[in-house]
Amino acid sequence: MKYTEREVFAIWLDSFEKIEYKRKSELFSLYGGESIARFVAKHAERIDFLLGKRASLLFGAANGEYTEYILSSLHKKGVIAVTQNSAAYPEELSEVPCPPLVIYARGNASLLKSEKFAVVGSRKSSAFAVAKTEEFTEKLIEAGFTIVTGFAEGADIAAVKAALASGKIIAVLAGGFDHIYPKAHAAIFEKVVLNGLAISEYPPSVPTAAFHFPVRNRIIAGLGKGLLVMSGGKKSGTLYTAGYADGLSKQIFALPYGINELSGAGCNELIRRGAYLTECAEDVLEYYGKEIKTQTPALSEAEREVLSLLKEGAIHIDKLCARLNKRAFELLPVLSMLEIKKLIVRGAGNVYEAL
């Protein structure tokens, strides 16, 4: 990967972990067009004034060896650095508060310029929300969107998995690529890199920290044309994402939940504040004037009967047996088949729900 001098400047500046964003962005906006050597030589006083003791960090590293080292280590790790002054930098991102100087990307970086839509949910999503996330993701992709989401378990990773086949996925991580979090998703990360795109505003060596997550959420909100919240409790991190989206005047979509369903209380709160009540992917697509062809899978007689009953509301297997006057072993194959066809989902405690 060849970088222009201006890009190298941004990568160089961003590599100093000890210098906070505010100072970096100030230096970048003032001297972003210059070469490193010139910048250090010409503005030494200014740098001293802004950084105090830490100025020596910059002076010590203002040589070709250091930049060569950073660039080659990025290259070795397969990381592409997209800087704020690069053509590949997504414009939407410039709108977010504190736009990242550099976006570190692995995978298909051209996705950054595609039409994006953010889908997020909490780590503790119900089986229903997870299944819905998969369905929404697939349909949104079919309509042409690239899905932007996080990398946590629950709804986020469900969206990632559902999008892998098409490759239209941007996973925004809250730490450097050397420290995939959660570790259990390391295998999925490799697939994302291969088929889609993973990005992070942190250089690869920076470990994930708890405070990165709410900050990271501004990127998810910023990249998406709109934001769909699949699940989230009263204090869920998805509400931060929604807050950023609101600040950027993006449309927020949220799945409605029942009164007692605590894992969706946050979604209901968003709807109360004006989010678009979204029951199916078509609701989102209609808003953007898009359309997809939906095909209903072929159903057997028994499957149709069970499905129509489930459409009336979630139901426990025992009640289902009683309602249809059938035994469990007669219904279980039907229910499994409907699950495989992704028309129903089994929640905790043998409760089945239509999607």
Partner 1 sequence: MLAKVRGFALNGLEGTPVDVEVDAGNDLPSYGIVGLADTAVKESKERVRAAVKNSGKRVPNKKITVNLAPADVKKEGSAFDLAIAVALLKASDQLIADTDEYVFLGELSLDGGIRRIDGILPILISALKAGYKKFIIPKANEREASYLESAVVYPCENLKQVIAHLVGETLIPAGKKRNFSDIAQTASYESDLCFVKGQAAAKRALEIAVGGGHNILFVGPPGTGKTMLARCIPTIMPDMTFDEALECTKIHSVAGVLSDEAGIVILRPFRSPHHTATVVSMTGGGNKAIRPGEISLAHDGVLFLDELPEYSRAALEALRQPLEDRVITVSRANGSVTFPANFMLCASMNPCPCGNLGAKDKICTCTPSQIAKYRARLSGPLMDRIDLQISVDDVKYGDLVSAQSEETSETVRARVNRTREIQRKRFAGESIRTNAAMSEKHIKKYCRLSAGCESVLKSAYEALGLSARARSRVIKVARTVADMADETDIREEHILEAVSYRGGAE
Provide the binding-site residues for partner 1, judged by CB under 8 A. 123-124, 126-127, 152-153, 182, 184, 233, 258, 260-263, 316-319, 321-322, 325, 327-329, 332-337, 339-342, 346-351
Cβ distance to partner 1 smaller for residue 67 or 126: 126
Closest CB 43 distance from partner 1, rounded Å: 46
CB 3 within 8 A of CB 11: yes
Q: Which is nearer to partner 1, 70 or 351 (by Cβ)?
A: 351
State how far the alpha carbon of 158 is from the alpha carbons of 15, 17, 174, in Å: 32, 32, 17
CB of 332 to partner 1, least distance (A): 5
User: Minimal distance in Å, beta carbon 120 to partner 1?
Assistant: 16
Residue closer to partner 1 (CB basis): 24 or 132: 132
CA distances from 262 to 95, 314, 351 (A): 33, 16, 17
Taking the complex as a whole, how short is the minimal distance between the CB of residue 317 and partner 1, in angstroms?
A: 5
Neighbours of 313 (CB within 10 A): 9
Between 41 and 332, name the residue whose CB sits nearer to partner 1: 332
CA 262, CA 272: separation in Å to the nearest integer? 15
Q: Which is nearer to partner 1, 249 or 325 (CB)?
A: 325
Cβ 177 to partner 1 shortest distance, Å: 20
CB of 68 to partner 1, least distance (A): 38
The smaller minimum CB distance to partner 1, of residues 164 and 248, is found at 164
